Amino acid sequence: MPKPRTQTQTYYLLSLGCSKNTVDSESMAQLLGGSGYRGVEEPARAGVLIVNTCGFIGPAKQESVNALRELADAKKPGQLLIAAGCLSQRYGIELTKQVPGLDGIIGTRRWMDIVDLVQRLRARPYPEPIYHLPESAAVGADEHGVSRTAVQGASAYLKIADGCRRPCAFCAIPLIKGTAVSRPIKAVVSEAKRLEARGLKELVLIAQDTTDYGHDLGLKEGLSELLERLTAEAPGIPWIRIMYAFPGYVTDRQIETMARHPQVLHYLDMPLQHGHPATLRRMRRPANIDWVHNTIGKMRSAMPDLAIRSTFIVGYPGETEEEFQTLLDFTAELKFDRLGAFTFSFEPGTPSEPLGDPVSPEVKDERLARLMEQQQRLSLAKNQLQIGKTLNVLVEGKGDGLSLGRSYRDAPEIDGMVIVEGDLPVGEIVPVRITGAMAYDLTGAVDAAPARVVSRPITLAA
Ligand code: SF4
């Protein structure tokens, strides 16, 4: 009979994947902290090792498996290794074949049961892995007494919903997370007020699809209603940023709300995935290209300084050179301020599985390079238009007489930076006169005069 393990109230939590996973990691850390566990930086010093995995696409999955294997190889007697997150939800018990030495597996839909799982693992008589993957579980809208945010300096990701009901053929998220579940407006607003009281400067609203916020709460314009409440009840937060908008669901009211409220940044992240209607139809994505042009046109006329970010997939099954060229022309014409791109990742179990993966890796990589080369030129040209302007910059770091920050045009972790001369107060927003432009970043110096936000009243189309 093996000797029962010692209780060591420390944990090491590695968070991989997207900002939504980061929020789940923060919530798990709060639950563990609330049960007397202390977080440590070095895995060797922890009693419990947790990896909050990503299960979205091939490279991200491999990164998660590698991280788990590394911890499993170095695991000491008495240490517990738990795989949490999307990879666990997607592959469940199968994961033990890829990562021998796993003690526990908990799905992304049950992050709130992490303490219970650790205690069950501690109490188990035999070293059999424990799987906590209740099939029926939907992602929880309820809070479990913890915040659904991830604070990074003066900025915080605020999760407003989880799961997704869109039919995108290449995407495993609906498989992993289930359908979209919105958090009650009251819960989101009270969380924002708590962050306001802490002096946070930026709220980054996240979900798989923020434009679908509130549909399950019976709200037709849920995101606009939420923005109205946030700006009315948390006026002290200077910046509110919207990520992950779904094409076809950015409404006139949302545009009007963004343009009317100075707190709501003139920035929108709207993954479009492609620019050719035939490719979009095969992706089971909105294929109305005119809608994209019209809506971006409307947004730019309401907010002339609008910064748009989008994301694209190259090498999707059946993508011809002609379809790819259309994507190049589409992005060249719309001139996105920020653009991310990925090569298609074949994902078993998704609706695109029957299409296989016919585009060769060489062609995928070559198309990715061509798209990003073009975007580098476009981004530089966009950045050069900022020279001479004064932008408000949220200072996030400093050293060697320089400070680093982000303007309204830069979402955390994925967009550019502004490099400013001088030692500026970290966590503060300062007006910066832009003096130089690089492909993705800007340079500047503190400006005495505050930055001007440019908005025009929107005339709603008949
Ligand atoms: S909107 Fe589409 S791509 Fe995004 S999470 Fe939902 S199914 Fe996936």
CATH of the domain at 40: 3.40.50.12160
The DSSP code sequence of 195-255 is: HHHTT--EEEEE-S-GGGTTGGGT-TTHHHHHHHHHHHH-TT--EEEE--PPTT---HHHH
> What is the model's pLDDT at position 448?
74
What CATH number is associated with residue 418?
2.40.50.140
Reported as a single tens digit per residue, the pLDDT across 415-437 is 999 999 999 999 999 999 999 99
What CATH number is associated with residue 309?
3.80.30.20
For residues 406 and 371, membership in a common domain is answered with: no
> What is the model's pLDDT at position 459?
44
For residues 369 and 434, membership in a common domain is answered with: no
Domain C-terminal end among 384, 407, 434: 384
Q: How many domains does the chain have?
A: 3
For residues 121 and 202, membership in a common domain is answered with: no
- In-domain check, residue 294: yes
- In-domain check, residue 203: yes
Pocket residue to mutate for ligand 1, from 20, 206, 208, most atoms within 8 A of Cβ: 208
**For ligand 1, is residue 180 a contact (CB within 6 Å)?**
no
- In-domain check, residue 461: no
> What is the model's pLDDT at position 247?
94
- In-domain check, residue 455: no
Q: How far is the CA of 271 from the centre of ligand 1 (A)?
A: 9
- In-domain check, residue 456: no
User: Would you state the structure tokens that stand for residue 92, as one six-digit string?
Assistant: 């469940």
> What is the model's pLDDT at position 462?
40
For residues 230 and 157, membership in a common domain is answered with: yes
User: Would you state the structure tokens that stand for residue 361, as one six-digit string?
Assistant: 């890796």
Nearest CA to ligand 1 atom 5: 208
For residues 240 and 125, membership in a common domain is answered with: no
**For ligand 1, is residue 168 a contact (CB within 6 Å)?**
yes
**For ligand 1, is residue 174 a contact (CB within 6 Å)?**
yes
Domain C-terminal end among 334, 359, 384: 384
Q: How far is the CA of 230 from the centre of ligand 1 (A)?
A: 25
- In-domain check, residue 174: yes
Ligand 1 atom nearest the C-alpha of 273 is 3
> What is the model's pLDDT at position 333?
98
For residues 19 and 81, membership in a common domain is answered with: yes
> What is the model's pLDDT at position 136?
54
Q: How far is the CA of 166 from the centre of ligand 1 (A)?
A: 6
Mean pLDDT for each consecutive 10-residue tract of the chain (462 residues)?
60 96 95 96 96 93 97 94 94 91 91 92 76 63 78 96 96 94 96 97 98 97 98 98 96 97 98 98 97 97 98 98 98 98 95 97 98 98 97 95 97 97 95 97 87 48 41
**For ligand 1, is residue 154 a contact (CB within 6 Å)?**
no
**For ligand 1, is residue 201 a contact (CB within 6 Å)?**
no
Ligand 1 atom nearest the C-alpha of 246 is 1
**For ligand 1, is residue 176 a contact (CB within 6 Å)?**
no
Domain C-terminal end among 72, 106, 132: 132
Pocket residue to mutate for ligand 1, from 90, 108, 171, most atoms within 8 A of Cβ: 171
Q: Name the residue range of residue 420's domain.
A: 390-446
Q: How far is the CA of 327 from the centre of ligand 1 (A)?
A: 20
User: Would you state the structure tokens that stand for residue 105, as one six-digit string?
Assistant: 């597996």
User: Would you state the structure tokens that stand for residue 100, as one six-digit string?
Assistant: 């021998």
Is 258 exposed, middle or buried (CB count within 10 Å of its CB: 0-12, 13-18, 19+)? buried
For residues 262 and 358, membership in a common domain is answered with: yes
- In-domain check, residue 453: no
For residues 55 and 127, membership in a common domain is answered with: yes
> What is the model's pLDDT at position 1?
45
User: Would you state the structure tokens that stand for residue 401, as one six-digit string?
Assistant: 């007489």
Pocket residue to mutate for ligand 1, from 164, 210, 244, most atoms within 8 A of Cβ: 164
Q: How far is the CA of 313 from the centre of ligand 1 (A)?
A: 13
For residues 25 and 43, membership in a common domain is answered with: yes
> What is the model's pLDDT at position 276?
98
Reported as a single tens digit per residue, the pLDDT across 104-121 is 999 988 899 999 999 999
The DSSP code sequence of 128-172 is: --EEE--TTPPPP-S-TTS--EEEETTEEEEE-EE------TT--
Nearest CA to ligand 1 atom 4: 208
**For ligand 1, is residue 171 a contact (CB within 6 Å)?**
yes
> Taking CA 55 as the corner, what is the angle to CA 122 and CA 283, rounded to the nearest 5 degrees?
155
**For ligand 1, is residue 209 a contact (CB within 6 Å)?**
yes
> What is the model's pLDDT at position 55?
92
For residues 328 and 183, membership in a common domain is answered with: yes
Q: How far is CA 178 from CA 15, 95, 181, 335, in A?
A: 21, 20, 9, 34
For residues 195 and 280, membership in a common domain is answered with: yes
> What is the model's pLDDT at position 452?
52
- In-domain check, residue 362: yes
CB neighbours of residue 390 within 10 Å = 18
Ligand 1 atom nearest the C-alpha of 209 is 1
For residues 173 and 198, membership in a common domain is answered with: yes
